[in-house]
Structure 1
Amino acid sequence: MSQTNQSLNAEQLRSQLEGIAQLHGIRQWDLGAACSTDTSVQVDRGEPKQLKGAQRSSITIRVWNSEGLVGTTSTSDLSQSGLERALSGARDAAAFGNAEETPAFSPLATAPLTALDQPLHQPQGILKLLEQLKAAEHDLLGRHLAISTVPYNGLAERSSERIYLNSDGACRQQQLTTASIYLYARAEESGRKPRSSGAVRLAYGASDLDIAGCIDEAAERTISHLDYAPVETGRYTCVLSPEAFLDLIGAFSNLFNARSVLDGVSLSQKDSIGQSLAVPFLSIDDNGLHPGNIGASNFDGEGTPTRKLSLLEGGVLKNFLHSEATARAFGVAPTGHAGLGAKVSVGPDWFEIGPTPGTSGGQSGLDRFKADQPIIWIDSLSALHAGVKASQGSFSLPFDGWLIKGGEARSIDAATVAGDIRQVLNAIVGFEGEAKVTPDGLCPMVWVEGLSVTGEA
């Protein structure tokens, strides 16, 4: 795309589209565009493994015909001729539109947006990223004799831009810079299985990344798994890390997804609002505007403003995530969780999980190291793509973690945890510690009793 490496002018683009639409007799149209410039590096024992730069664009144009049917095209060409071809193609495709799926403009596409504090950073450049990552890898390799390699690592920076325009006057635009680093170390001792763990950090610019904290966390986690032992199969009270519990909720987000409800692939029904789904002290909000959400957007694919939305309050289902079409079907307002397409997708932004204000929050003073029973501390879950049956509610997932007994933690050799998400939500004992900001949301340690754990035979 010829303009990817420049700042897009939304007003100029809208003026172009209006002129082309008028010329071709198109009365209703919209456009969603996302463009980015990415730079990333990887290293292998001090040597460059991969240096990569890329410009990406994703542009979707929809056109409504006189019968209200919608045609959709995708393009990467924002020139006058490219836009003309895309609009004409979408107009022609509308004749074959699905009369059962007729999205409309969001009624909130021109509503005021919440301002976000997202400082823009100049890119440091690929050579600077390479030197920083080589130094980070060298530091991590020196933390323990058993750490022989850091097989998965990366340092990246991105400059991106999003636009939403429609023929009713909506004009949304956002520019954003982000950076990330991940370090995943591998440690091995003679006669023992290799053990791995890692850490990730996000920021608005590479200069703001907590690289030292990422190294410390990756080293601490990896070293803590060196002394491992098998665990007996049975039912345990488990303490899930914020990352693990957020992964589990994300895997079953169809509970809150109105698109999934209408498609019949959700654990919830259309009349589930107001029903109790969890213990009476659990709250889950979707809050894409939280300051901890690096990469937040203040509007969705349809131009609807992003806002904080209560999903569970006191264990009771309060709201679904909506696009314009699903909101219309439910008789409510769009919530700002839509993608863009002929059939619009719906998805969560960033979860906030914790005790409901004004409740006991479950058992107080929980400390996994002071428990009078064996506790399994689940640090991270794996194979969520394969081990989760989202439409059934069941899961069986390998995990990394520790068995805590008598105040001492010992890494678990290999094990899986299994259960049903509805049972999990009703078996929460309480929360431990302060809520932690992660890339996927805000959450404290979560205690769940009676989870089935299968150890390695």
Structure 2
Amino acid sequence: MPNIQEIANYAKENADKLGIKKFDIYGSTIDETSVQVDQGEPKQVKASNRSGVTVRVWNEQNTIGITSTTDVDPKGLELALKTAYDASFFGVKENVPDFSPEATVPIAQTPKDKAPQAPVAELIDKLLVAEKELLSAHPAIQGVPYNGLAQRDIDRFYLNSDGAVRTESHSIASVYLYSKTEEEDKKPRSGNSFRISHSVDELDINGCIKEAADKTISHLNYEKVKSGKYLVVFSPDAFLSLLGAFSNLFNAQSILDKQSLSTPDDLGKEIASPLLSVYDDALHPANVGAETFDGEGTPTRKVALIENGVLTGFLHSAGTAKRMNAQPTGNASIGAKVSVSPNFYHVFAATNSEQEFSLATAENVILIDDLQALHAGVKALQGSFSLPFDGWLINKGEKTSIESATVAGDFLQVLKSIVYLEKEVELTPGGVCPRVWVEGLSITGE
């Protein structure tokens, strides 16, 4: 892909030639290498270089046309601009997207160096060692059917005809391990773990191996659980999975489309326990893939969504912010239409709880490690969920794996029923979060 300044020059020259006065372009390139292994042998090696740009053009009537292309040389950009211009005459006439008012605001960003890419042979060797160590952790572990070690370099840019030019680059490496057991007269059990970092050298692969092994081994001795109401502890990953499933609560586009649990008038209302605060913080130090601007060129930032249990903010694009008399928050993606999504959640205890809880002393508590079937078991517009999970029954620090069970409830009621957030937060793919204790949740055993 040509560099950003060359693309900006090509775009301006071609726009002038076509008589186009207003346009913007968002693009990215992802250079990725990933490997998988199976029983001591390489199973799959993938290398890809994916590039794409989205071009938006406004005509004299201020309606918009959009096209996407992978061709960013002068001829490709000329064709994309012309196609988008032609399409603009069929564009929507109400709530037409516009440039973000913050697309030209300077960003105080520290340039990130991309990490050197590790050779494929090194990736395979590291993953083979990880598989071997996981298989040797316990005789019952018979396979690591799902695994992967990946590295990617990402370049992004945004420019528009008002002179906005933004660009950034970063690297991400990740490892995933999922081990499975086989024992006579017992059901197969499993455990998984994930780690992410800037580079393969910095990846905590040993920590990933240990976590996957510990989880898998802890599920070997399992029992049925009695159905009933329990004090439930969500792991950081499980709580963020649930929060993500009901993210329409904070999504301004969903609210405007009346596809949300919130309304514009809900700001300032107490919707959760006063112990809970939730931010969307793209620039959190733990966010390995932090992005400094969104698809409209708006700088990303920390957005307070819930503070001390009170709904304090929504996630906005430039368009939703204009319609709701707010500021864009740096959460927009552009494509056939502008969408809004969270960047990186930061969940933490807003205040100290009157009562502290600990898995070492708690009795008859359910610890949910991983929620499953979120695509089927969540009714996002009703606020309800019924989900199978992996987890344990905890009695004074002693863990007994639960054979199979589902957890059900109303998400807004879950938020109000939080009785404790632990102090220590963990990094997950969706953000940072502590364990969250919720009282009175329905558990259905077999």
TM-score over 0.5 for the alignment? yes
How far did 1:250 drift?
0.9
How far did 1:191 drift?
0.8
2:417 maps to which of 427, 432, 437: 427
How far did 1:386 drift?
1.1
Tell me the alpha carbon deviations over residues 30-72 of structure 1, each in whole angstroms, 9 at most, x when there is no partner. Answer: 0000111111100000111101111112210000001110000
Question: 1: CA distance between counterparts of 2:195 and 2:281?
Answer: 20
1:394 aligned partner, one-letter code: S
Report the equivalent of 1:412.
402
CA RMSD of aligned residues (A): 1.1
1:214 aligned partner, one-letter code: C
2:129 maps to which of 122, 126, 135: 135
1:271 aligned partner, one-letter code: D
Question: 2: CA distance between counterparts of 1:119 and 1:403?
Answer: 45
TM normalised by structure 1 equals 0.96
Which region of structure 1 is more displaced relative to structure 2, 142-151 or 126-135?
Answer: 126-135
| Secondary structure at 2:342 match in 1 | coil
1:395 maps to which of 385, 392, 397: 385
1:238 maps to which of 232, 235, 246: 232
How far did 1:189 drift?
1.5
How far did 1:342 drift?
4.4
1:145 aligned partner, one-letter code: P
Report the equivalent of 1:369.
360
Matches within 5 A, 1:300-319: 300-319=294-313
Say if 2:289 is the partner of 1:295.
yes
Question: 1: CA distance between counterparts of 2:240 and 2:91?
Answer: 37
Which region of structure 1 is more displaced relative to structure 2, 140-149 or 124-133?
Answer: 124-133
Question: 2: CA distance between counterparts of 1:443 and 1:117?
Answer: 27
Report the equivalent of 2:342.
348
Report the equivalent of 1:181.
175
Report the equivalent of 1:441.
431
Report the equivalent of 1:49.
43
2:207 aligned partner, one-letter code: G
Question: 1: CA distance between counterparts of 2:441 and 2:211?
Answer: 27
User: Residues 151 and 185 of structure 1 are in contact (CA less than 8 Å); yes or no, is this contact kept in structure 2?
Assistant: yes
Question: 2: CA distance between counterparts of 1:405 and 1:177?
Answer: 43
Say if 2:68 is the partner of 1:77.
no
2:418 aligned partner, one-letter code: I
How far did 1:283 drift?
0.6
How far did 1:364 drift?
3.5
1:421 aligned partner, one-letter code: F
Matches within 5 A, 1:220-259: 220-259=214-253
Question: 2: CA distance between counterparts of 1:80 and 1:45?
Answer: 49
User: Residues 114 and 298 of structure 1 are in contact (CA less than 8 Å); yes or no, is this contact kept in structure 2?
Assistant: no
Question: 2: CA distance between counterparts of 1:404 and 1:307?
Answer: 39
Question: 2: CA distance between counterparts of 1:120 and 1:406?
Answer: 46
1:192 maps to which of 186, 189, 194: 186
Question: 1: CA distance between counterparts of 2:226 and 2:413?
Answer: 22
User: Residues 18 and 82 of structure 2 are in contact (CA less than 8 Å); yes or no, is this contact kept in structure 1?
Assistant: yes
Matches within 5 A, 1:99-118: 99-116=93-110, 118=112
User: Residues 62 and 341 of structure 1 are in contact (CA less than 8 Å); yes or no, is this contact kept in structure 2?
Assistant: no
How far did 1:415 drift?
0.5
Report the equivalent of 2:26.
32
Say if 2:149 is the partner of 1:155.
yes
User: Residues 127 and 149 of structure 2 are in contact (CA less than 8 Å); yes or no, is this contact kept in structure 1?
Assistant: yes
2:426 aligned partner, one-letter code: K
Tell me the alpha carbon deviations over residues 398-447 of structure 1, each in whole angstroms, 9 at most, x when there is no partner. Answer: 10000112442100000010001100000001122411222211111110
2:84 aligned partner, one-letter code: A
How far did 1:116 drift?
4.5
Question: 2: CA distance between counterparts of 1:77 and 1:143?
Answer: 49
Question: 2: CA distance between counterparts of 1:199 and 1:89?
Answer: 46
Question: 2: CA distance between counterparts of 1:316 and 1:191?
Answer: 51
Residues 123 and 182 of structure 1, relative CA distance in 2, 3 Å threshold: same
User: Residues 349 and 423 of structure 2 are in contact (CA less than 8 Å); yes or no, is this contact kept in structure 1?
Assistant: no
TM normalised by structure 2 equals 0.98
How far did 1:279 drift?
1.0
- The count of residues paired between Structure 1 and Structure 2 equals 446
| Secondary structure at 1:151 match in 2 | strand
Greater than 6 Å deviation, 4+ residue runs: none
User: Residues 10 and 73 of structure 2 are in contact (CA less than 8 Å); yes or no, is this contact kept in structure 1?
Assistant: no
Question: 1: CA distance between counterparts of 2:414 and 2:210?
Answer: 32
Q: What 5-or-longer segments of structure 2 have no aligned partner?
A: none
How far did 1:294 drift?
1.1
How far did 1:289 drift?
0.3
| Secondary structure at 2:152 match in 1 | strand
2:445 aligned partner, one-letter code: G
1:283 maps to which of 277, 280, 292: 277
How far did 1:207 drift?
1.0
Question: 2: CA distance between counterparts of 1:452 and 1:317?
Answer: 26
How far did 1:79 drift?
1.3
Question: 1: CA distance between counterparts of 2:30 and 2:392?
Answer: 40
| Secondary structure at 1:221 match in 2 | helix
Question: 2: CA distance between counterparts of 1:325 and 1:363?
Answer: 43
Question: 1: CA distance between counterparts of 2:314 and 2:101?
Answer: 18
Tell me the alpha carbon deviations over residues 208-249 of structure 1, each in whole angstroms, 9 at most, x when there is no partner. Answer: 111111101010011000010010111101011111111111
Report the equivalent of 1:91.
85
How far did 1:392 drift?
1.0
Taking every aligned residue pair, what percent have the same amino acid on both sides?
51
User: Residues 150 and 173 of structure 2 are in contact (CA less than 8 Å); yes or no, is this contact kept in structure 1?
Assistant: yes
